[in-house]
Amino acid sequence: MIVEGTYPLPGKPEAVWDLLMDPDVLAKAMPGTRTLTRTGPDRYEGTMAVGIGPITAAEFDLVITLTDVMRPESYTMLIDSKGRFGFARGAARVVLVAGGDGTALEYRADLQVGGKIAGLGQRLLDSVSRMMIRQGLEALQRELAARLG
């Protein structure tokens, strides 16, 4: 499953970057995240719960590793999540492009989903993931606006 898009955020890429590296902010940017802690320079671990179709509040253990980190321009998030309802894993490329007063956040995630969430939630996976990303980016925008404001 590929999800991609561009989202405008206020502030310079540096400010956006710092925010994106903050686990507390990251947790807000990923709806359903219950805990997220930095466990290494480029590694975060936590849990999240997602509801997809007939599966409500499926809990996942989450490990995020950052690679190809080019501050403040781009990085790749390697996502590995597992739980009783299946797994989701893959890579999300994030590129920050300065423009005017703000920053355009370009993202492209290639995710592989398996287990019950794939077998039972397939019809909704696409729309749920889009919804989650939109909610996450809106949260990020609010956070940025608050910090910069």
Partner 1 sequence: MTSRYFGAPILRLEDVRLLTGRARFVDDVDLPGMLHVAFLRSDEAHGRLNRVDPSAARARRGVVAVYTAADLGDYWRPGPLLVPPPPIPGMVFNPATQVPLARDKVRHAGEPLAMVVAESRYLAEDALDDIVVDLEPLPAVTGLEAALRPGVPLVHEQFGTNLAAWVRQTKGDYASARARAHAVVARRFHYDRGAAAALENRGVVAQWDARAEELTIWDTTQAPIPIRNGMAELLGLRESQVRVIAPFIGGGFGPKIMMFYPEEVLVPWAAMRLGRPVKWIEDRRENFFATTQERSQIHDAELAVAKDGKILGVKDRFLHDTGAYDPYGLTVPLNSQCTLLGPYVVPHYDSEFTAVFTNQPIVTPVRGAGRQHGVFVMERLLDFAARELGLDRVEIRRRNYIQPDQFPYDNQILFQDFRPLVYDSGDYPAALEKAVALIGYHRFVSEEQPAARKEGRHLGVGVVSYIEGTGVGPYEGARVTVEPSGTVRLATGVGTQGQGHFTTLAQVVADQLGVSVEQVQVSTGDTREFGWGTGTFASRGAVVAGSACHAAATRVREKVLDLASRLLELSPEELVLAGGRVHRRGAPESGVSLGELARKANPLRGAVTPGTEPGLEATAYFGPDRGNAANGVHAMVVEVDPETAAVKIRRYVVVHDCGTVINPLVVEAQIQGGVAHGIGNAFYERLCFDDSGQLLNASFMDYLLPTALDVPTVELDHVVSPSPLNPLGTKGVGEAGAIPTGAAFAQAVEDALGQEVEITEMPMSPCRLFELLERGGSGRP
Contact residues: partner 1, CB under 8 A: 54, 82, 84, 86-87, 89, 112-116, 118-120, 122-123
**Shortest Å distance, C-beta 116 to partner 1:** 7
Q: Which is nearer to partner 1, 84 or 134 (CB)?
A: 84
Q: Which is nearer to partner 1, 99 or 114 (CB)?
A: 114
* Cα distance between residue 146 and residue 149, in whole Å: 5
* Cα distance between residue 84 and residue 142, in whole Å: 33
What b/e string do you get for 28-40 counting C-beta neighbours within 10 Å, with b at 16 or more? Answer: bbbbbbeebebee
Q: Which is nearer to partner 1, 81 or 141 (CB)?
A: 81
**Shortest Å distance, C-beta 139 to partner 1:** 29
